[in-house]
Amino acid sequence: MDGMDDLLAEFITDTYESLEQVDIRLVELENEADGTAMVNELFRMMHTIKGTCGFLGLPRMAGLAHAAESLMDRMRNGEPVTHEAIDAMLRVADRLKQILAAIEANSGQEPEGSDEAIISALNEAGSDVPAAPPAEAEADAGAAADESPMAAVAEPTGDGGASELAATAMTPKSPPKAPPANDASTKPAAKAEQEKAEGGDQGGDRSIRVSVETLEHLMTVVSELVLTRNELTEVMRHEERTNHKLALQRLSTVTGELQQAVMSTRMQPIGNAWRKLPRIVRDVSSNLGKQIELEMSGANTELDRQVLESIKDPLVHMVRNAADHGLEMPLERIAAGKPEKGKITLNAYHEGGQILVEIADDGRGLDVDKIRAKAVERGITTAEEAERMSAEHVFSFIFEPGFSTAATVTSVSGRGVGMDVVQSNVERIGGSIDVRSNKGQGSVFTLKIPLTLAILRALIVGVDDEDFAIPQTSVDELLKVEPGGPHSIQLIKEAPVLRSRDRLLPVVDLKSVLQLPSSLDEMGVPRNADENTRGFVMVMRARGLRFGMLVDTVARTEEIVVKPMPAALRGLEIFSGSTILGDGRVIMIVDPNGVRSAASNPSEAAVQAVNKQAEEIEAAEDKQLLLMFRANTKNRKALPISLITRLEEISLADAEQSNGQWHIQYNNELIPLVWFGNPPDPSEGERKPLLVMSDAGRSMGLLVDEIIDIVEDSVEVQIPSEEVGILGSAIINGAAAEIIDVSYFLGLASAHWFEPHMNRKLAASMDQILLVDDSVFFRNLVAPVVRSAGFDPVVCESGVEALDKLEAGMVPSVIVTDVDMPEMDGFAFAKAVRRIERLNHVPILALTGLIDEDAIQRARAAGFSDYISKLDRNGLLQSLRDFTRPRSEEIAA
Amino acid sequence: MSRQNKVIVDEAEGYVTAKLAGHWFALPISAVHEVFLLTRITTVPQSPPGIIGVLNLRGRLVTAVDTRQILGFSPAANELTMAIGIERQNELFGLAVDQMGDVLRSSSAEREPAPMNLDRRWREIVTGVQRSDGHLVLIVAVDRLFDNVVTLASA
C-alpha cells in the first residue's frame, strides 16, 4: 500500500512538471511556423500521462490524455494547428492540473466529474479545416465522422460542461471570423539551452531527485559546521602550535568548499520561475485582444531555491501588470507610431553579488501627473510636496497599498492590490525594486535580489556595547565623524545631518531607533546626536533613499550565516534575522528598510528631497550677498539682498488691520505686512525690523525678529523644507540656515492686496519665458518671480536642454539665460539659438553677475538683446515687460 | 493555534520540577528538550515583554523566556541561571527558572485539580497540584504556557 502511495506521489510531481512543459510547448507551438518537434513532444507527454494513469487506475485523467494524444497525433499527421486546438489543449492541461490537485487532497481518489465537453472540443478542434494533402484530409474527415456522434451524444446529457461544450462547439465553425487578435508569441532566448539541458536529463542518470528537506537539512548542518569552524579559528588565534594551525587551515578550506557545493545544490535557474509566464501573457493577450511578444533572456541565471520561490509570484504579477496596464491596445499603439505588437522583455543577470531581473515593456509608461494627483487625492502627500518631487519619488507611490491609477478594473489587474505585496515580498528576502519610466515609451522594473539568503557579508557594528550586523550590500560608504574632523554632525531644527561631498545627508541614530537606554538622558529626554558626537556614519540606501546611520564603532566585516528571527521577535521590523558570531555570541541583523521606516525624523519627504537635490545640485559657484536674520524660530534664515528694497524698523503700534490683513504706511502708501508664524501683537509696541520688498510696483513688508549679519556666500538649497515660506536649508558660512521662499510671501501679500491685479494678469494669454540657469537656487528664485509677474516660466538646467526644447518646436516670448554655465555657456547658447531661423524674432536676455563694457560687446556679438545683472530683479522684470509688450500689441493689432 | 495540539499532561510519568519565585512547578519530561545554563544572552532591543533575549546553544538559537513575567511574578532579584529547554515548532525556547529540582514521579491518582480560587492566569496553565516532600508542586501544561508567551509577545 505504501509503495503505491509513493508511486502516486511521484506521479503527481512528475505530471505537474510535464503539464508546465505542456503549457510552454503549446504556446510556442501556436507561434512557430514549423511545430513538428513540439507536436511530437506534446504527443509523447500526453502519451506518458495516459499510460501512467491507466496503470494507476485514474480513468478520468487517462480519458483526457487520450483525447489530447489523439489530437496531437492528427496534428503530427499534418492537420493544421488552429487557435481552437491550442485552446482545447490548454483546457486539458488545466483540467488535468485540477484533477491532480483533487487527487492529492483526496488521498489518491480521482474526483467525480465529466470531461466530455473538453474531450469533444479536442475531437472537433481542427477537424473543420481541410488539411493540405487530400489523402490525409479524407482520413481526417473519417476520423471526424467517427468522433462526431460522441459530441452529439454529449450535448443532450446536460452535464455541468454543457454550456462550455456549446461555446466551444460554436467556435470551430467560424474560424475566419476570429481575427488573429491574440497573437501572443513567445521567444524564450534561452530555449535552446533549456532543451539541451532537458535532453541531458533524458540521456541517463546524470541527475537524481533529492527531496527539498534533505537539502535544507544539509544546508543547516553545513551552516553549523561553518560556525564551528569560525569558533575554532577564534580560539586558535592565540595558539602557537603550528601543526594545529595547518590542520585548521585545511578544515577551513574544506568547509568553505563544502559550503559552496551545498549552496550550489540549492541553486536553480531563474527560468524555472518564468515557466508560467508565456501562458499568462497568452491568456492576457487573448482576454484583452492585445498582441504581445514576450522575450526572455538570462533564463540560466542561477539563484537560491528559496529566493526563487519568493520572487515567483512577484514576477507573475509584474508581467501581468505590464501586459495589462503597461501595453496599449493595438489601435492606440498604431496611433502612437509604435508597432502593433507590444513587447515585454525579461532579463536576468548577475551584478556585484546580486541578481538583477528587469521586466521591461514598451507600452505607455507611468503617468507621473496621474500618480501625483492620485497620491495627493489619497492624502499620501500634499500637492505642494508632490510638485517638488522627482519623478522617481512619484513612481515609488505605486508601491503604496491600494494604489491604482487604472481607470477601470479589468479581470487581469487594476484593483490596486499587488505592487505593495510585490515590494514586501522582495524586501523580505533583502531585495529591492526600482522603477524607471518614460511616458509613451514604456517602463522598466528592476528587481535586485540576493543570490542566497543563507550567507551574507556583513559589517559588525557596535552601539552602546551591543553588536549588530549590517548587510554590506546596503552600505555605500563609511564616514568617521568627530568634532573638528573632516566630517561632523550638524543640526537643522534638531535633526542631525552630515555634510558629505557638499551634500547634506540626514543622519539616523541607530541608538535612538533601537531605543537603547543611552538614547535618553537622566531626565528621560531623547538625546540627539550633535556637533560633538563621535562615531561612524554608514551611508546607506533603502528604497531608493540615501541616509546616514550613526553607530559608535565599526569592528570588521564577516561572512555570517543568516538565521531566521526567533518567532517571538519576528514582529520587530528593524531586524531581518540573526546570526551567531565566531565567538559564539548571537547578534541581530539590522534591516536598512526597517531603520528607514522606524526613523521618524528626518521625515521621509526630507530624506527624499535630499536625494533629489543631491542628484541635481552641483555646487553653485556664484557667491552673493545674503541677509541673515531670525524670525519666529531660533534658526538662522537667509534672503538674497537683491530681493530686498529696503530695511526699515517699525513700531507695531503703527500697523493697521483690516480684513484680517495688516498694513503699514510706507513711502506714502499702505503696504501689506507678512510674517513668520503667529500674527504680531501690536500692543507690545516694540520696534521690529521690517524687510521691504517690491515687485512690479507693489511692495510688501516682511516682519522679522532680528537682523544678524550680511554675508557673502554661494547658496545651495540642500534639504527642501516642508514648512511654508521656507525654500529649504543650505549651508551658509559653514552653518545651516533656512532660505526664504519669497514667492510664498509675495503670494500671501497679494492674495489680499493685489488679487484683482493678479487675476487680470493671469487672464491675459501668458507669455512663455524660457529660463536657462545651471544654478538650482536661481532657478528656484527667478522662476517664481517671473511667474508672479504674470509670465509662464519654462525652466531648463542647461543650454543643451533648452536647445532641445527649442528645436522641438517651442517658441517662447523671451529667452533668459545665465552666461556662466558649464558645457555650453550663455554666448554659445545664444549663437546656437540665433542659428534657428524660426526664432529670429525672439529676444534673448543675458543674466550675469558681472557687467563690464567688454562683456556687453561680446553679448551683442553673440546675439543677445539685453544684458541684465543677475541681482537686478526689477531690471529683469522691466526688460521682460518691454520685450513682450510690442509683440502682444502687434498681435492685438 | 496550539489549541489544536494535544495538551500534554497525563501521558508522561516523570516530571521535571523547578522552583520559581518560591513556587515549585513541574513540566512533563516528554516536553523538555534539555536543561541548560542561561549564559551570554543577547538582549534584543524593542523585544516584547516576556522575552529576555536570545542565546546560542551549541549552534542553535534559543529564545530565553522570562517565565516570571509570564506568570505574573516580580522580576528576580538575582541573575537568572537555569533554563528548561522546550522545543516548539522547530524552535528552542528556554524557560528561565530560579532553581532545578528532582524528577517527580506522578500518577493521576496522586494529583488534585487546580484550586478554584487560583489566579485566572494560573488556572489556565496549571492542570493539577501534587504534594511532594512537604511542598505543593504545580503541574504545568506546556502548550498553555506557550499560549501565554504568544499573547504576551504579540501584545
Instruction: Record the cell numbers describing residue A267, joined without a space.
Output: 541553486
- Put simply, the answer to whether B61 touches A586 (Cβ < 8 Å) is yes
E strand segments, A155-291: 185-188, 267-269
On whether residue B34 sits in a domain, the answer given is yes
Asked if A787 and A747 sit in the same domain, the reply is: no
- Put simply, the answer to whether A567 touches B56 (Cβ < 8 Å) is no
Q: Residue holding cell 550550489? A: A264
In contact, B25 and B67? CB cutoff 8 Å: no
- Chain A residues near residue B91 by CB distance under 8 angstroms: 566-567
Mean pLDDT, 10 residues at a time, over chain A (893 residues)? 63 83 83 78 82 78 85 82 84 87 80 82 65 39 40 39 40 41 43 42 63 83 80 76 78 86 84 86 85 89 83 86 86 88 90 82 87 82 77 79 57 53 80 84 87 78 91 84 79 73 78 80 68 84 78 86 82 85 86 76 49 43 70 82 74 73 72 76 72 69 82 70 74 81 69 39 61 75 72 84 85 85 83 84 79 73 78 73 59 37
On whether residue B113 sits in a domain, the answer given is yes
- For residue A559, the one-letter residue type is E
User: How large is the C-alpha radius of gyration of chain B?
Assistant: 15
Asked if A880 and A868 sit in the same domain, the reply is: yes
On whether residue A93 sits in a domain, the answer given is yes
- Chain A residues near residue B40 by CB distance under 8 angstroms: 584-586
CATH code at position A500: 2.30.30.40
Q: What is the pLDDT of residue B93?
A: 92
Asked if A727 and A712 sit in the same domain, the reply is: yes
The distance in angstroms from the start CA to the end CA of chain B is 16
Q: Is the ipTM of this complex over 0.85?
A: no
Phi-psi region of A381 (alpha: psi -120 to 50; beta: other; left: phi over 0): beta
On whether residue A247 sits in a domain, the answer given is yes
Q: Identify the domain containing residue A745 by its residue range.
A: 617-751
On whether residue B80 sits in a domain, the answer given is yes
- Put simply, the answer to whether B153 touches A571 (Cβ < 8 Å) is yes
Q: Is the dihedral of CA A833, A836, A839, A842 positive or negative?
A: positive
pLDDT digits (tens, 9 = 90+) for A824-877: 888 888 888 888 888 888 888 887 766 667 777 777 778 888 877 766 666 777
- Chain B residues near residue A514 by CB distance under 8 angstroms: 45-46
Asked if A603 and A621 sit in the same domain, the reply is: no
Does A449 reach chain B within 8 Å, measured CB to CB? no
Candidates A796, A870, A794, A781; CA nearest to A829 is A796
Asked if A676 and A585 sit in the same domain, the reply is: no
On whether residue B37 sits in a domain, the answer given is yes
Can you give A641-672 as a three-state secondary structure string?
HHHCCEEEEEEHHHCEEECCEEEEEECCEEEE
Does A568 reach chain B within 8 Å, measured CB to CB? yes
On whether residue B7 sits in a domain, the answer given is no
Tell which of A267, A288, A304 closes a domain: A267
- Put simply, the answer to whether B59 touches A567 (Cβ < 8 Å) is no
What's A126's DSSP letter? Answer: T
Q: Identify the domain containing residue B131 by its residue range.
A: 14-154
Does A587 reach chain B within 8 Å, measured CB to CB? yes
Give the number of A-B residue pairs with CB atoms closer than 8 Å: 65
On whether residue A19 sits in a domain, the answer given is yes
E strand segments, B4-153: 14-20, 23-28, 32-37, 51-57, 60-65, 82-88, 91-97, 99-105, 126-132, 135-140
Asked if A821 and A876 sit in the same domain, the reply is: yes
Does A751 reach chain B within 8 Å, measured CB to CB? no
- Put simply, the answer to whether B63 touches A228 (Cβ < 8 Å) is no
B42: nearest CB among A567, A574, A585: A585
A572: nearest CB among B47, B89, B154: B47
Asked if A728 and A792 sit in the same domain, the reply is: no
Asked if A587 and A467 sit in the same domain, the reply is: yes
Q: What is the pLDDT of residue A477?
A: 84
- Name beta bridge partners: A432: A448
pLDDT digits (tens, 9 = 90+) for A165-174: 444 444 444 4
Asked if A147 and A233 sit in the same domain, the reply is: no
- Put simply, the answer to whether A566 touches B61 (Cβ < 8 Å) is yes
CATH code at position A165: 1.20.120.160
Q: Rounded to whole angstroms, what are the CA distances from A203 to A20, A197, A199, A207, A868?
A: 21, 10, 6, 10, 81
Q: What is the pLDDT of residue A47?
A: 80
- Put simply, the answer to whether A569 touches B48 (Cβ < 8 Å) is yes
Name residues whose C-beta falls within 8 Å of residue A430's C-beta, 6 or more positions apart in sequence: A449, A450, A453, A456, A471, A473, A576
CATH code at position A696: 2.40.50.180
Does A575 reach chain B within 8 Å, measured CB to CB? yes
- Whole-angstrom distance, CA of residue A273 vs CA of residue A176: 36
In contact, A298 and A270? CB cutoff 8 Å: yes
Provide the domain count of chain A.
Answer: 5
* Alpha-carbon gap: B22 to the closest alpha carbon of chain A (Å): 27
CATH code at position B133: 2.40.50.180
Q: What is the pLDDT of residue A885?
A: 63
Q: Is the dihedral of CA B144, B147, B149, B152 positive or negative?
A: negative
- Name beta bridge partners: A638: A628, A739
Nearest residue of B to residue A222, measured between CA atoms: B59
* Alpha-carbon gap: B89 to the closest alpha carbon of chain A (Å): 9
User: How large is the C-alpha radius of gyration of chain A?
Assistant: 36
- Put simply, the answer to whether B54 touches A586 (Cβ < 8 Å) is yes
Tell which of A230, A249, A267 closes a domain: A267
Nearest residue of B to residue A226, measured between CA atoms: B59
On whether residue B70 sits in a domain, the answer given is yes
Interface test mutation site (partner B, options A225, A563, A586, max chain B beta carbons within 10 A): A586
On whether residue A385 sits in a domain, the answer given is no
- Chain A residues near residue B65 by CB distance under 8 angstroms: 568
Q: What is the pLDDT of residue A587?
A: 93
CATH code at position A825: 3.40.50.2300
- For residue A463, the one-letter residue type is V
Residues in chain A: 893
Does A463 reach chain B within 8 Å, measured CB to CB? no
- Whole-angstrom distance, CA of residue B94 vs CA of residue B105: 23
On whether residue A184 sits in a domain, the answer given is no
Interface test mutation site (partner B, options A226, A229, A514, A569, max chain B beta carbons within 10 A): A569
Asked if A565 and A662 sit in the same domain, the reply is: no
Whole-model pTM over 0.80: no
pLDDT tens track of chain B, all 155 residues?
444 444 444 444 688 999 888 889 999 888 898 999 888 899 998 888 888 899 988 778 899 998 888 888 887 766 667 899 998 877 899 999 988 888 888 777 777 887 778 777 778 888 888 888 788 888 888 888 777 665 555 44
Tell which of A585, A614, A643 closes a domain: A614
Helix (H, G, I), strand (E, B) or coil at A210: coil
- Whole-angstrom distance, CA of residue A79 vs CA of residue A35: 11
Asked if A715 and A673 sit in the same domain, the reply is: yes
- Put simply, the answer to whether B54 touches A569 (Cβ < 8 Å) is yes
On whether residue B6 sits in a domain, the answer given is no
Q: What is the pLDDT of residue A189?
A: 42
In contact, B138 and B23? CB cutoff 8 Å: yes
On whether residue B137 sits in a domain, the answer given is yes
Asked if A603 and A623 sit in the same domain, the reply is: no
* Alpha-carbon gap: B67 to the closest alpha carbon of chain A (Å): 14
- For residue A316, the one-letter residue type is V
- Name beta bridge partners: A630: A706
What's A324's DSSP letter? Answer: I
* Alpha-carbon gap: B45 to the closest alpha carbon of chain A (Å): 6
Cα-based angle A151, A156, A157 (whole degrees, multiple of 5)? 95
Instruction: Record the cell numbers describing residue A93, joined without a space.
Output: 492541461
- Put simply, the answer to whether B91 touches A228 (Cβ < 8 Å) is no
Candidates A556, A578, A563, A580; CA nearest to A229 is A580
- Whole-angstrom distance, CA of residue B139 vs CA of residue B118: 13
Q: What is the pLDDT of residue B64?
A: 92
What's A322's DSSP letter? Answer: I
> Each residue of A700-722: b (16+ CB within 10 Å) or e?
bbbbbbeeeeebebbbbbbbbbe
Provide the domain count of chain B.
Answer: 1
- Put simply, the answer to whether B45 touches A516 (Cβ < 8 Å) is yes
